[in-house]
């Protein structure tokens, strides 16, 4: 009996350790409510994103987290778009990756979502800022700005989408 309980605890622990992309969307019928009638003002978007960074800089990574006590990558994207850009996105990177139109890496604009394959069953998401830099919640650094030129991000880059 002890052996089965230990295996169960180990399985649960491993499940919680995988990155934010493996979390399941609670409402599978959820659709992002994107307002396409508003003109895009990249200066305002950039200002809003840097403001969000100033508010959240260094907040630690926590799988499934949605608060300043801890947040994961898709939760940070979800909260940022809702509070700063007025767009309601799904909660998980898996669902966020299904939105918008794919764009080439060399055509990125401020506010585009950038996705990375960080494991066999996990994804990571960030928000493009400018000059090959993106805003995200990193497992090691918490909420931070990183460079797409970094070897790790360059090798795990998957795709980008524009909403």
The catalytic residues are: 73, 124, 136
SS3 95: helix
Long-range Cβ contacts of 127-135 (<8 Å, 24+ apart): 127/49, 127/77, 127/80, 128/160, 129/46, 129/49, 129/50, 130/46, 135/49, 135/52, 135/53, 135/80
- CA 141 distance to own-chain centroid: 14
Cα–Cα distance, 135 to 57 (Å, whole number): 10
Residues 13-29 as b or e (16 or more Cβ within 10 Å = b): eeeeeebbbbbeeeeee
């Amino acid at each position: 009996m002890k052996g089965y309980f230990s295996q169960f605890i180990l399985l649960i622990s491993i499940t919680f350790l995988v990155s934010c992309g493996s979390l399941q969307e609670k409402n599978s019928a959820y659709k992002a409510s994107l307002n396409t009638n508003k003109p895009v003002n990249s200066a305002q978007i950039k200002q809003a994103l840097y403001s969000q960074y100033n508010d959240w800089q260094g907040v630690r990574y926590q799988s499934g987290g949605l608060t300043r006590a801890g947040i994961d990558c898709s939760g940070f994207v979800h909260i940022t778009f809702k509070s700063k850009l007025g767009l309601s996105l799904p909660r998980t990177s898996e669902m966020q990756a299904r939105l918008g139109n794919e764009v080439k890496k060399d055509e990125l604009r401020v506010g585009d979502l950038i996705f990375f394959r960080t494991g066999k069953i996990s994804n990571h998401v960030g928000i493009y800022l400018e000059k090959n830099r993106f805003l995200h919640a990193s497992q090691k650094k918490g909420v931070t700005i990183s460079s797409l030129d970094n070897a790790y991000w360059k090798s795990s880059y998957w795709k980008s989408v524009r909403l």
